[in-house]
Amino acid sequence: MASLESASSPRSDFSAGSMQSPLDKEQLVTQILDLQEALQASLQRVESARGDHTRISVENQTLLQYINNLMSATGPPMPPRRK
Protein backbone atom coordinates (compact mmCIF):
# COMPACT_ATOMS: atom_id res chain seq x y z
CA MET A 1 0.00 0.00 0.00
CA ALA A 2 2.86 2.38 0.65
CA SER A 3 3.81 2.16 -3.01
CA LEU A 4 0.34 3.37 -3.99
CA GLU A 5 0.73 6.41 -1.77
CA SER A 6 4.08 7.22 -3.31
CA ALA A 7 2.57 6.77 -6.76
CA SER A 8 0.07 9.53 -6.17
CA SER A 9 2.62 12.04 -4.89
CA PRO A 10 4.49 12.56 -8.22
CA ARG A 11 1.24 13.60 -9.83
CA SER A 12 0.89 16.48 -7.39
CA ASP A 13 4.59 17.35 -7.67
CA PHE A 14 4.63 17.66 -11.46
CA SER A 15 2.21 19.41 -13.74
CA ALA A 16 1.85 18.21 -17.32
CA GLY A 17 4.61 20.39 -18.74
CA SER A 18 6.99 20.83 -15.83
CA MET A 19 9.01 17.59 -15.85
CA GLN A 20 12.51 18.71 -15.13
CA SER A 21 14.56 16.03 -16.83
CA PRO A 22 14.37 12.78 -18.76
CA LEU A 23 15.54 11.09 -15.54
CA ASP A 24 12.38 12.24 -13.76
CA LYS A 25 10.26 10.85 -16.59
CA GLU A 26 12.21 7.59 -16.59
CA GLN A 27 11.72 7.19 -12.83
CA LEU A 28 8.01 7.84 -13.20
CA VAL A 29 7.69 5.30 -16.02
CA THR A 30 9.63 2.75 -13.97
CA GLN A 31 7.37 3.35 -11.00
CA ILE A 32 4.27 2.94 -13.18
CA LEU A 33 5.58 -0.34 -14.60
CA ASP A 34 6.38 -1.62 -11.10
CA LEU A 35 2.88 -0.74 -9.93
CA GLN A 36 1.35 -2.45 -12.96
CA GLU A 37 3.30 -5.62 -12.15
CA ALA A 38 2.16 -5.46 -8.52
CA LEU A 39 -1.43 -5.00 -9.65
CA GLN A 40 -1.18 -7.96 -12.02
CA ALA A 41 0.21 -10.15 -9.22
CA SER A 42 -2.63 -9.05 -6.94
CA LEU A 43 -5.21 -9.85 -9.60
CA GLN A 44 -3.71 -13.30 -10.06
CA ARG A 45 -3.92 -13.92 -6.30
CA VAL A 46 -7.58 -12.81 -6.31
CA GLU A 47 -8.42 -15.14 -9.19
CA SER A 48 -6.63 -18.00 -7.44
CA ALA A 49 -8.56 -17.33 -4.23
CA ARG A 50 -11.84 -17.26 -6.17
CA GLY A 51 -11.03 -20.63 -7.69
CA ASP A 52 -10.14 -22.05 -4.28
CA HIS A 53 -13.38 -20.67 -2.84
CA THR A 54 -15.46 -22.26 -5.60
CA ARG A 55 -13.70 -25.61 -5.21
CA ILE A 56 -14.11 -25.62 -1.43
CA SER A 57 -17.78 -24.59 -1.70
CA VAL A 58 -18.46 -27.55 -3.97
CA GLU A 59 -16.62 -29.87 -1.56
CA ASN A 60 -18.66 -28.50 1.35
CA GLN A 61 -21.92 -29.11 -0.52
CA THR A 62 -20.82 -32.69 -1.25
CA LEU A 63 -19.93 -33.28 2.40
CA LEU A 64 -23.22 -31.76 3.57
CA GLN A 65 -25.15 -34.05 1.25
CA TYR A 66 -23.14 -37.05 2.46
CA ILE A 67 -23.79 -36.19 6.12
CA ASN A 68 -27.50 -35.65 5.48
CA ASN A 69 -27.70 -39.01 3.69
CA LEU A 70 -25.97 -40.72 6.63
CA MET A 71 -28.30 -39.03 9.10
CA SER A 72 -31.42 -40.10 7.20
CA ALA A 73 -30.11 -43.67 6.78
CA THR A 74 -29.27 -44.17 10.45
CA GLY A 75 -32.30 -42.44 11.97
CA PRO A 76 -32.32 -40.01 14.86
CA PRO A 77 -29.45 -40.16 17.36
CA MET A 78 -29.98 -42.29 20.46
CA PRO A 79 -30.03 -40.47 23.79
CA PRO A 80 -27.23 -41.47 26.15
CA ARG A 81 -28.05 -44.27 28.62
CA ARG A 82 -28.24 -43.38 32.30
CA LYS A 83 -26.75 -45.78 34.80
pLDDT above 80: residue 69: yes
Q: Which residues contact 6 (CB under 8 A, 6 or more apart)?
A: 31
Structural domains in the chain (count): 1
Q: Identify the sign of the CA torsion 53, 57, 60, 62.
A: negative
Q: How confident is the model at residue 20 (pLDDT cuts 50, 70, 90)?
A: confident
Whether residue 8 lies inside any domain: the answer is no
Q: Decide if 59 is inside a domain.
A: yes
Residue 33 scores a pLDDT above 90: yes
What is the domain extent for residue 59? 42-70
Residue 18 falls inside a structural domain: no
* pLDDT at 22 (0 to 100): 86
51 domain residue, yes or no: yes
Query: Is the pLDDT higher at 58 or at 72?
Result: 58
Note whether residue 61 is domain-resident.
yes
Q: What is the pLDDT of residue 19?
A: 53
Coil, strand or helix: which one is 26?
helix
Tell me, yes or no, whether 63 lies in a domain. yes
62 located within any domain: yes
Its sign, for the CA torsion 7, 9, 10, 16, is positive
Average pLDDT over residues 5-26: 64
DSSP notation for 20-81: --HHHHHHHHHHHHHHHHHHHHHHHHHHHHHHHHHHHHHHHHHHHHHHHHHHHHH-SPPPPP
Residue 55 resides in a domain:
yes
